[in-house]
Structure 1
Amino acid sequence: MTPREVLALCRQKEIQAVDLRFMDFPGMQKHFTIPVEALDEQSFEDGLTFDGSSIHGWQAINESDMLVVPQPETAMIDPFMASTLAMTCNIQDPITRSDYNRDPRNVARKAEVYMRSTGIADIAYFGLEPEFFIFDQVRFDQNEHEGFYHLDSVEGEWNRGGGELGTGRGQQVRRREGYFPMPPTDSLQELRTEIMLTARECGIDVIGQHHEVATAGQCEVDLKFAPLLASADALLGLKYLIKNVAAKHGKTATFMPKPIWNDNGSGLHMHFSLWKSGEPLFSGSGYGGMSELAMHAIGGILKHAPAILAFSCPTTNSYKRFVPGFDAPVNLTYSFRNRSAAIRIPVHASSSESRRIEFRCPDPACNPYLANAAVLMAALDGVQRKIDPGMPLDKDVYDLPTEELGEYPKVPTSLADAVEALRNDHDFLLRGDVFTEDVIDTWIWYKTEREIEAVRQRPHPWEFALYYDA
């Protein structure tokens, strides 16, 4: 849409409020609302002011004023708010009118510009597949004298014997047997369909939905592939819809990667390909039907994967998902079909147009603008430097002897390790001024002080079971 078309839509649909949304540095959506009369064509140029000092990781109090600039192509009629149109915004400095370097959406935009400047490709397509949980209840707290969480779901295996939500329905999902069950065992079918249809009504191209492997309401809703920036915008819109549809039904949705111990966690499988002049660049006659350029892109992603994970797996909880035997990839290698590898070449992508790779490490707690941009920058570095991805992992990892499995590099085991990898390996992100030193330093500081240290300082409930009687 153009600004004029947005204003015409507002008149046609009798819109009364305009919700202006943007993503903060760690990856949470923020918003404020104006009456529709305050929006005109000039608003799309001049922007509107807000206090940047109240946003995590952004401005100091003495330089707090910032601008949100609405992006008309993101306009969406909000299905949950009366007479409201929502738009995603870019962030600018009100004095210089330059794009703000810590605005995640700006990082994604710069990554696309840099890609085109290299001459390697003109479009990077991302197809994102977020997994998430929908629970019936959640309670949690931590203070000086107690710390706990409590999750519950009518689907939870623990309710089979009549737990808190035990209903005698006898249709609970057995642990790790939640993939594709039929209703009534799949109690969330209608809710997921409502999410899918609502998303499509809002212009978000969802191509399917299903129950996932874990017990207690693990779901997946898949987005159609789109250029880098558009795919990140779509994921933000989808997460908003998922949370609000769940709330409408008295439930709660979470994109926390590993909310349930001893069961599968939630990933964000990332399908990725490069195109130029309307032609796919990953299709070829090599391993898995891939081109030499695609293999070099795989090499770049695998080489820089520990640093990428600081953005694509950005929480301390993310690394509880990387446990052998729970479908999350722990080996930094690639394979045709094998889902235990960090990068899979989908076997059903037989046509040249559908040839792509699937990076299986990211999780849905990530900031998609930063995660997508980091993956693209690593792939471009691999192509530029012709990085060899090594040999594929085509064997069943569960049958491999320890010494052979040990030959393959592993994902980091903690957020601290991933952040340290980013500290030591980020030159590839700085090219084209895509990620600046300020962005890298601020990310490392925020993750270390606000998350890694905060978790490290607090006693864990399991420590009481281990050590209370020491």
Structure 2
Amino acid sequence: MTVDVSTPPAEAAQDEAPSDLATRARADGVKFLLALFVDLTGKPCAKLVPVEAADELQYEGVGFAGYAAGAMGQQPSDPDLIALPDLASYTPLPWVREGLALVHCDPHVEGKPWPYAPRVILKTLLERARAQQLELFAGAEVEYFLVSRDADGRIAPADAKDTSAQPCYDARGLTRMYEHLTAVSTAMNALGWANYANDHEDGNGQFEQNFAYADALTTADRVITARYLISVLAEQRGMTATFMPKPFSDRTGSGMHLHLSLWRDGAALFPDGTDERALGLSEVAYSFLAGILEHAPGLQAVLAPTVNSYKRTGAVSTRSGATWSPRHASYGGNDRTHFIRVPDGNRIEMRGGDGSANPYLALAAALAAGLDGIERGLDPGAPGADDGTKRPELPLTLLHAVDALAADPVVGGALDAAGPGVCDYFAGLKREEFFAWHSTVGSWEVDRYLTAF
């Protein structure tokens, strides 16, 4: 990500919300609204609301059976989730369907924000930061593969000509996906996201489309909207867009790198031209960074929350020659081998996250870890993988990461920010996911053991 972060972007301000959803929607020619929220796994859940019912949506919300929606901490006997829209997130989507718009919602139960809702969790952490006159800004790099599936379910890059051993930045592969990439770019720019680059990534069939940073809540909303937009536009062209971290064992996985900075009263707190470590960061930034490094093992359960995630971070080689995923909680300058890269003095880049990460939870947990570093005045030591201390190794599997999460009161506390029990619930879901995979006999086992004894 190469974007100027020396001044906060004006378009990110959440206080520019329309006062009346129905009036705004009709002015834009919107006939239907997707009232959307995500569960703890990042699954987008929505109801399609006609513009004639926009007032009811705005003032009363729309109901969901939480247990049916997914990982929302509910049982079949529990009261409905009532999704109340945040009008600042209103997003027309005529590129998906003419007359369609999306609005992100905060689930409530019996009149109170639901503590298992990821957006509610992030908003709670952001309020804690504001109590210290701190505001988190974030940028996200959204990587994904465009694939096709054959009759047997096998996947391959949707572009059959994308076979180069080193396809990154290849102009021909980029051009063959011109219609899809430009459709996404056009939509992002029309929405004011300031798309500034679209590229072919390191894996065959892998792409990245960048947009400008914003306040953390706006960026998390945009990641969810971008995934939806990219997926639907790919489907319209007969392809599947996947944010799965490692769809191909021999190719680079998809990350979701997060660029973070703290601000106070419109002033950036990270830059410092007198930095003795020559990375341009302030002591506040180093303490924030140190907090993230100290909590990195537990953070990985949120940043890399699937079984497949650890096929990415555990990879030792790929077809292109590099994995681009960190294995230790190290930091350094403009060096992509670290868990935290410092491209310049304005921000840090957290590289442990992948395409399966829930952006609300990822930003909430990272913020909690960073604030802990500031509160305790932590020092990350000298830059580099070997600074004279042993850098923590990142978890080897999802199970290891969940165990680290359960043992980390700061990261676990971030998940419990809006109410108790969320961390235990999330950890339980992820343990079940790991053992469901572990109990399934796969082709690797058959190939290795069928005639081995």
Normalised by the size of structure 2, how large is the TM-score?
A: 0.89
Q: Match of 2:331, as an amino acid?
A: Y
1:227-269 per-residue CA deviation (whole Å, 9 max, x = no partner) reads: 1111000001111111111111111110000001122111011
With over 3 angstroms needed to count, the CA separation of the structure-2 counterparts of 1:406 and 1:135, relative to structure 1, is farther
State yes or no: 1:414 paired with 2:397: yes
Distance 1:432 1:103, change over 3 A: closer
Distance 1:103 1:431 in 2: 12
**Structure 1 unmatched runs, 5+:** 141-148, 156-164, 166-170, 396-403
Letter in 1 for 2:27: Q
Q: How does 1:51-200 map to 2 (within 5 A)?
A: 51-58=65-72, 59-79=74-94, 80-93=96-109, 95=110, 97-119=111-133, 121=134, 123-137=135-149, 150-153=154-157, 155=159, 171-175=161-165, 177-183=166-172, 186-200=175-189
Matches of 2:418 and 2:156 in 1, distance apart?
Answer: 40
Mapped partners of 2:422, 2:234: distance in 1: 34
2:248 is matched with: 260
Distance 1:263 1:428, change over 3 A: closer
Q: 1:191 to 1:431 in 2, by over 3 A?
A: closer
Q: CA deviation at 1:428?
A: 5.2
Structure 1 counterpart SS, 2:101: strand
Question: Larger Cα Rg: Structure 1 or Structure 2?
Answer: 1
**Matching of residues 205-244 of structure 1 within 5 Å:** 205-215=194-204, 217-244=205-232
- The CA deviation at 1:418 is 0.5
The whole-number CA distance in structure 1 between the counterparts of 2:294 and 2:389 is 17
1:36 aligned partner:
51
- Which residue is equivalent to 2:284? 293
Letter of the 2:359 partner, please give it. P
1:448 and 2:437 equivalent? no
Q: CA–CA distance in 2 between the matches of 1:225 and 1:368? A: 13
Name which of 377, 399, 410 aligns with 1:427.
410
**SS of equivalent residue, structure 1 residue 297:** helix
Q: Find out whether 1:15 has 2:30 as its counterpart.
A: yes
Sort the Cα spacing of 1:424 and 1:138 in 2 relative to 1 into closer, same or farther, 3 A: farther
Residue 204 of structure 1 contacts residue 237 of structure 1 at CA under 8 Å; is this kept in 2? no
Q: How does 1:386-397 map to 2 (within 5 A)?
A: 386-393=377-384
For residue 207 of structure 1, report the CA deviation from its aligned partner.
Answer: 2.5
What's the Cα RMSD here? Answer: 2.2
1:315 counterpart (301, 306, 319):
306
> Residues 313 and 84 (structure 1 numbering): CA distance in 2 closer, same or farther, change over 3 Å?
same
* Distance (Å, rounded) in 2 between the aligned partners of 1:267 and 1:432: 22
Distance, in Å, in 1 between the alignment partners of 2:447 and 2:216 is: 46
Change in CA separation of 1:420 and 1:199 when aligned onto 2, cut-off 3 Å: same
- Whether contact under 8 Å (2:158, 2:239) holds in the other structure is no
3-state DSSP of counterpart to 2:168: coil
Match of 2:335 in 1: 338
Distance 2:173 2:438 in 1: 42
Partner of 1:358, secondary structure, is: strand
- Over the matched positions of the two proteins, sequence identity in percent amounts to 29
| Partner SS state of residue 316, structure 1 | coil
The Cα shift of 1:138 comes to 5.6
Query: How far apart are residue 406 of structure 1 and its match?
Result: 9.9
SS of the residue 1:190 aligns to: helix
What is aligned with 1:159?
none
Q: CA offsets per residue over residues 332-355 of structure 1, 9 Å max, x none? A: 110011211100010xx36xxxx1
1:394 Cα shift? 6.6
State the alpha-carbon separation in 1 of the partners of residues 87 and 17 from structure 2.
6
Contact 2:415 2:422 in 1 (8 A): no
- Checking the alignment, whether the CA contact within 8 Å between 1:199 and 1:241 is kept in structure 2 is no
Q: CA deviation at 1:439?
A: 0.8
Residues 121 and 414, structure 2, Cα contact 8 Å, conserved in 1: no
Say if 2:60 is the partner of 1:46: yes
Q: Secondary structure at the match of 1:195?
A: helix
For the residues of structure 2 that align with 1:184 and 1:381, how far apart are their CA atoms? 44
CA–CA separation in structure 1 for the residues paired with 2:192 and 2:233: 16
Aligned residues: 426
8 Å CA contact 2:188–2:211 kept in 1: the answer is no
Q: CA 1:74 to 1:82, structure 2 compared with 1: closer, same or farther past 3 Å?
A: same
**Alpha-carbon deviation of 1:405?**
11
- C-alpha spacing 1:248/1:405, structure 2 compared with 1 (3 Å): farther
**Partner of 1:101: helix, strand, or coil?**
coil
* Alpha-carbon spacing, 1:405–1:28, altered in 2? closer, same or farther (3 Å): farther
Aligned equivalents of 2:435 and 2:388: distance in 1? 32
Per the TM alignment, residue 184 of structure 1 is displaced from its structure 2 partner at its CA by 5.2
Please state how far the C-alpha of 1:407 moved relative to its aligned partner. 3.8
CA contact (8 A) 1:108 1:370 kept: yes
* CA spacing shift, 1:405–1:174, aligned 2, 3 Å: farther
Per the alignment, do residues 412 and 312 of structure 1 end up closer, same or farther by CA in structure 2, a change over 3 Å counting? Answer: same
Separation (CA, whole Å) in 2 of partners of 1:461 and 1:415: 20
Mapping of 1:352-371 within 5 angstroms? 355-371=346-362
